[in-house]
């Protein structure tokens, strides 16, 4: 919950804008400001104070405890020009909140935490638990000192600045270690704990939480492994609600993941036995559940020890997962920065490797974190880009493969995914494709059924393209042509338009949009009968209306077919 506190009328107006925008996230604290801040500090995860920073500093200073648990505090000035992340930048999420509040109120976010302001990832924001000298090592990273990266596991990490490198290349006393071993960080060392361990657990009905937890923790301790790297407890479906397992998982702060007995029975394990086969239908629960998604068995099945000498009620086994790389296929939108989605921005900022066409890389270079490896190539190198992106992800990297508009529309997503096997995670980030960017400029040409057709016959035989144009013509569907015309490819557009003209009046509106949302954007609405193909090039999309499309006040409108409107006309 975010507590909102204001003192003045202007503050209250800004406060109410947040309250309206985030009805379920915020709570307004009225009354004397001091009491309101104290109450919100005790009750909320975050505070937004429409007050001077000085006033807030005095009020919260006596309340501050630990930066891991204190709420994040953001101050917004009287004029609503700045959203200042005051305390709890990382742990309390105040930096992110300042950005969100800034976006909503049109205020400039002010973030003074060293790592954020330099675009260097804060070591406590990488999404992994971190131990050790976070402040000292972050400082060294930021100051450009050589920092040693000891990656015991190669796990996908976001880009780290170039002064963080392998020991051979980089001397230095500050160390970033990526490890799941129970290693105690030295001075000037941080240990990042990737979620690399899966603990398989079997339990008889009614096995106590303490017995399971004791077994799991003892097993990890004896094997020299860190509980902070445990990603999940894995077991068989039949034990999904076993209170001891659920309780132990809660205590460890990890989810319980379950598999069917049939799935588990297929896994080859070193220590199968008859008891689980009879009880739940698989010769192994702990080892099989830990191993079912692959990985290395670090600790084979162990049984719990019971002081009273009764038979053990729980078993466990520990597997180190095979690292999974990540491939994000990111659409950059048609060009304008504010048509790039926040999610796309986030993926770009967390990538360690960026793959894309050089002209698209230029579009977003300033958003990349220092240290991002950029693999750019020229037009036509699609195969190379697809293969490179997948190969880097398979090596465990966090890869962003970029494309303009939507990366799935006549772009890199399909060639890349055709190369990708199931050993990497893939996420897609949608982007505003050219047809939509153009549609918004033209008016509402896509108000009814529509298709996109690429006129490039580089990869598609012309007969196929022509058949599709004909089908759209016959079905009276609005058509947007991508790749409509280039210097060496000039007869396809007139041919396609002629096919449409066989089924639509010469007065049918046609919208031509060049460089949508880019600095030299231009557009015009003309008609099927009078379109001059010479004004069309490869930076253009051409949208042809259906038989109902009209020009209204200079805009292209395809009726939605509402009866109330048809009757009025």
Residues near ligand SAH (CB under 6 A): 334-335, 403-406, 409-411, 433-434, 437-438, 482-484, 513-518, 538-541
Q: How far is CA 474 from CA 147, 297, 480, 502, in A?
A: 65, 61, 15, 9
Smallest distance from the beta carbon of 262 to ligand SAH, in angstroms? 42
Smallest distance from the beta carbon of 441 to ligand SAH, in angstroms? 9
Let me know: does 410 contact 451? Beta carbons within 8 Å: no
Quote the tokens at residue 277. Answer: 């086969």
Q: Of 213 and 516, which CB lies nearer to ligand SAH in the complex structure?
A: 516
Q: Of 492 and 517, which CB lies nearer to ligand SAH in the complex structure?
A: 517
Smallest distance from the beta carbon of 452 to ligand SAH, in angstroms? 9
Q: Of 454 and 527, which CB lies nearer to ligand SAH in the complex structure?
A: 454
Smallest distance from the beta carbon of 337 to ligand SAH, in angstroms? 13
Smallest distance from the beta carbon of 411 to ligand SAH, in angstroms? 4
Q: Which strands make up the sheet holding 174-178, listed edge to edge?
A: 130-132, 189-192, 174-178, 147-151, 164-165
Smallest distance from the beta carbon of 339 to ligand SAH, in angstroms? 9
The residue with its CB nearest to ligand SAH is 405
What residue spans of 143-295 are helical by DSSP H? 209-223, 243-252, 261-265, 274-280, 286-291
Let me know: does 59 contact 33? Beta carbons within 8 Å: yes
Q: Of 346 and 382, which CB lies nearer to ligand SAH in the complex structure?
A: 382
State the CB neighbour count (10 A cutoff) for residue 252. Answer: 18
Q: Of 29 and 410, which CB lies nearer to ligand SAH in the complex structure?
A: 410
Q: How far is CA 420 from CA 15, 388, 424, 426, in A?
A: 48, 11, 7, 9
Smallest distance from the beta carbon of 364 to ligand SAH, in angstroms? 15
Let me know: does 548 contact 562? Beta carbons within 8 Å: no
Q: Of 303 and 518, which CB lies nearer to ligand SAH in the complex structure?
A: 518
Smallest distance from the beta carbon of 412 to ligand SAH, in angstroms? 8
Give the whole-angstrom CA distance, residue 204 versus residue 96.
45
Q: Of 122 and 511, which CB lies nearer to ligand SAH in the complex structure?
A: 511
Look at residues 249, 246, 223, 459 and name the one whose alpha carbon lies nearest to residue 318.
223
Q: How far is CA 100 from CA 48, 66, 94, in A?
A: 11, 24, 10
Give the whole-angstrom CA distance, residue 317 versus residue 267.
14
- Torsional sign, CA 241, 243, 244, 248: positive
Give the whole-angstrom CA distance, residue 215 versus residue 211.
6
Q: Of 156 and 439, which CB lies nearer to ligand SAH in the complex structure?
A: 439
Look at residues 264, 265, 271, 245 and name the one whose alpha carbon lies nearest to residue 256.
245
Smallest distance from the beta carbon of 450 to ligand SAH, in angstroms? 14
């Amino acid at each position: 919950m975010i507590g909102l506190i204001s003192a003045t009328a202007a503050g209250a107006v800004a406060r109410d804008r947040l309250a309206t925008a985030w009805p379920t996230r915020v709570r307004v604290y009225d009354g004397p400001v001091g009491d309101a801040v104290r109450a919100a500090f005790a009750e909320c995860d975050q505070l937004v104070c429409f007050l001077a920073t000085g006033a807030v500093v005095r009020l919260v200073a006596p309340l501050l405890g630990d930066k891991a648990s204190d709420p994040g505090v953001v101050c917004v000035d009287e004029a609503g020009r700045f959203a200042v992340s005051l305390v709890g930048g990382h742990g309390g999420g105040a930096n992110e909140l300042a950005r969100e509040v800034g976006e909503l109120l049109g205020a400039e976010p002010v973030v003074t935490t060293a790592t954020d302001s330099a675009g260097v990832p804060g070591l406590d924001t990488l999404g992994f638990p971190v131990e050790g000298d976070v402040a000292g090592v972050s400082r060294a990273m930021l100051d450009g000192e050589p920092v040693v990266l000891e990656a015991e596991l190669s796990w996908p990490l976001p880009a780290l600045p170039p002064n963080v490198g392998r020991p051979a290349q980089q001397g230095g006393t500050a160390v970033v270690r990526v490890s799941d071993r129970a290693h105690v960080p030295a001075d000037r060392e941080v240990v990042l704990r990737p979620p690399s361990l899966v603990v398989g657990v079997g339990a008889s009905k009614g096995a106590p939480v303490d017995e399971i937890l004791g077994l799991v923790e003892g097993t990890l301790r004896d094997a020299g492994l860190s509980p902070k790297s445990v990603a999940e407890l894995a077991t068989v479906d039949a034990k999904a609600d076993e209170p001891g397992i659920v309780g132990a998982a809660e205590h460890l702060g990890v989810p319980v993941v379950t598999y069917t007995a049939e799935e588990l029975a297929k896994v080859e394990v070193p220590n199968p036995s008859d008891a689980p086969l009879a009880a739940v239908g698989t010769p192994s629960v702990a080892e099989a559940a830990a191993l079912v998604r692959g990985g290395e068995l670090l600790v084979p099945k162990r049984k719990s020890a019971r002081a009273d000498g009764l038979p053990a009620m729980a078993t466990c086994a520990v597997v180190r997962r095979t690292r999974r790389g990540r491939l994000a296929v990111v659409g950059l939108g048609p060009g304008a920065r504010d048509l790039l989605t926040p999610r796309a921005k986030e993926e770009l900022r967390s990538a360690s490797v960026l793959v894309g066409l050089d002209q698209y890389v230029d579009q977003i270079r300033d958003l990349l974190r220092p240290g991002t490896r950029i693999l750019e190539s020229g037009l036509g190198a699609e195969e190379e880009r697809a293969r490179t992106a997948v190969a880097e992800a398979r090596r465990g990297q966090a890869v962003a493969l970029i494309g303009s508009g939507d990366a799935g529309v006549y772009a890199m997503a399909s060639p890349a995914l055709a190369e990708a096997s199931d050993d990497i995670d893939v996420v897609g980030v949608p982007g505003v494709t050219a047809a939509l960017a153009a549609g918004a400029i033209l008016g509402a040409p896509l108000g009814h059924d529509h298709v996109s057709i690429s006129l490039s016959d580089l990869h598609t035989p012309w007969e196929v393209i022509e058949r599709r144009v004909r089908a759209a013509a016959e079905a009276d569907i609005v058509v947007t042509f991508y790749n409509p015309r280039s210097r060496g490819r000039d007869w396809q557009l007139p041919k396609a338009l002629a096919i449409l003209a066989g089924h639509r009046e010469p007065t049918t509106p046609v919208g031509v949009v060049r460089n949508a949302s880019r600095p030299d954007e231009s557009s015009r609405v003309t008609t099927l009968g009078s379109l001059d193909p010479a004004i069309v090039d490869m930076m253009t999309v051409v949208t042809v209306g259906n038989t109902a499309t009209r020009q209204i006040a200079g805009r292209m409108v395809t009726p939605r077919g509402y009866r109330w409107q048809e009757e009025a006309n």
